[in-house]
Structure 1
Amino acid sequence: MNSIMTCQGICKSYGSGEMTELVLKRVDLEFFQGQASVLIGPSGSGKTTLLSILGCLLAPSEGQLLIDNQPVNFSDKSSLTEVRRQKLGFIFQHAQLLPFLTIEDNLAIIGRNAGMTDDDIQQRLDNLLARLELKAMRYKFPAQLSGGQRQRVAIARALLHRPSIVLADEPTAALDWHTGKTVVELLLEQARLEQAVLVVVTHDTRMLPLFDRILSIADGILTEQQQTAAVDNIFYTQP
């Protein structure tokens, strides 16, 4: 497998002097093409902080992030914008769609920002809307969709420009178990089809068996769990 993204000694701290809080402690991690990872840990453990660094939304205090073996320059805003537009797809807890644009326009703007041609945008739109069962929603506005439908649109938006890295921060937090599981399965299916790196933050341990790799953060320290052992320890309840 090809290495797509690498963390080298990444630390993140807030404050200064005696008030300094170290949120991430020397994270060394490599992500490979087509690999789906889930990131778990208690609230305040550093999950969202790490995801924000991976998404080039937050600069590390120490260490280096490499994408396609090239160091990310967090001090160069134009370079960061280009990386986010070309290589990254980000799904937030809530879909965060532009309410004044139709679903088609919410998706098309991502393609235009990435430099895709109009023909490629339309072909990609048609394909994703069909796969995610959203064709009937194409000309509707976000307020006319259910929560699950909006999250499927958010998945389509994150994947439209064929990014090599897809990141999702609690994408099922506002959804019931059945809808949330469907959303994650759709995300996994599409990300693997595109051979993208996928990293999902979740509190729902029932999702763990769906992923290739389980990463855990506690007190800013990241460890990798063995998938079989972690799955065996999950307590399943009826939804």
Structure 2
Amino acid sequence: MKNVLVCRGITKSYGSGDLVEQVLKRVDLEFSQGQASVLVGPSGSGKTTLLSILGCLLAPSNGELLVENNPVNFSDKSSLTEVRRQKLGFIFQQAQLLPFLTIDDNLSVIGRNAGMTQPDIDQRVNKLLDRLQLQPLRHKYPSQLSGGQRQRVAIARALLHRPSIVLADEPTAALDWNTGKTVVELLLEQARIENAVLVVVTHDTRMLPLFDRILSIADGLLVERQQTAATENTFYTETNLDHPPGF
């Protein structure tokens, strides 16, 4: 499997002089095509910072990010926009749908920004709405949907332009356990169908068995763990996550 997303010595610091805080400390990571990774750690450990760098939303202080073997130029806004539109799908804690557009239009605008043809957009929207059981809702507005329905739309939006990288920051934070699990399973299913890299940040250790790979971050240092029941218990002990495994 080829590497789609690579971090080389990524660091991120805030402040200056004696008040510098190093949030990420030389992160080296490789993400392979079709691989689903989960990123866990205590609040303030650097999870969202790392995800924002992977999503080209935040520039690292040092180090290099490569997307499909091409170094990302964080100082070139036009190239960053191009990478985000063509290669990346991002799901935030809240769905962040455009409230004045229908679900159909919220999805279609992503395709247009990515340079897709209208027939391809129409076909893609129909396919995702069918898969995610959203077809009856396509002409509704976000305010008319439940939280779980909006998150499913956010998944469709992130996958619409067939990105090679899908990132999700606490996508189940505002959802109950059953709805959240369903949302994550749908996200995993769709990302694997598209053979995309998937990286999800979560505080909920009950989600860990769903992923191929577990990454733990604390004090800016990242460690990869083996996917075992014993490891899940270790995560809860080491990072003081919100729920014990199996809760």
TM-score by length of 2: 0.95
Hey, what does 1:230 align to over in structure 2? Answer: 231
Residue identity in the other structure for 2:179: T
Hey, what does 1:21 align to over in structure 2? Answer: 21
Hey, what does 2:164 align to over in structure 1? Answer: 164
Hey, what does 1:147 align to over in structure 2? Answer: 147
Matches of 1:76 and 1:232 in 2, distance apart?
A: 43
Hey, what does 2:106 align to over in structure 1? Answer: 106
Matches of 2:246 and 2:59 in 1, distance apart?
A: 39
The 8 Å contact of residues 232 and 245 in structure 2, kept in 1 or not, is answered as no
Matches of 1:127 and 1:172 in 2, distance apart?
A: 23
> Higher mean Cα deviation, 224-233 or 132-141?
224-233
Hey, what does 1:42 align to over in structure 2? Answer: 42
Residue identity in the other structure for 1:119: P
Residue identity in the other structure for 2:30: E
Hey, what does 2:209 align to over in structure 1? Answer: 209
Structure 2 unaligned runs (5+)?
237-243
TM-score by length of 1: 0.98
Hey, what does 1:123 align to over in structure 2? Answer: 123
Q: What's the secondary structure of 1:227's corresponding residue?
A: coil
Tell me the C-alpha RMSD between the 2 structures: 0.9
**Closer, same or farther in 2 for the Cα pair 1:236/1:216, shift >3 Å?**
closer
Matches of 1:83 and 1:197 in 2, distance apart?
A: 15
Pairwise CA distance, 1:236: 3.9
Pairwise CA distance, 1:237: 4.5
Residue identity in the other structure for 2:231: A
Pairwise CA distance, 1:20: 0.3
Name the % identity: 79
Hey, what does 1:135 align to over in structure 2? Answer: 135
1:125-160 deviation digits (Å, cap 9, x = unpaired): 000000000000000000000000000000000000
Matches of 1:237 and 1:35 in 2, distance apart?
A: 24
Deviating above 2 A after TM superposition, structure 1's stretches of 4 or more consecutive aligned residues are 231-238
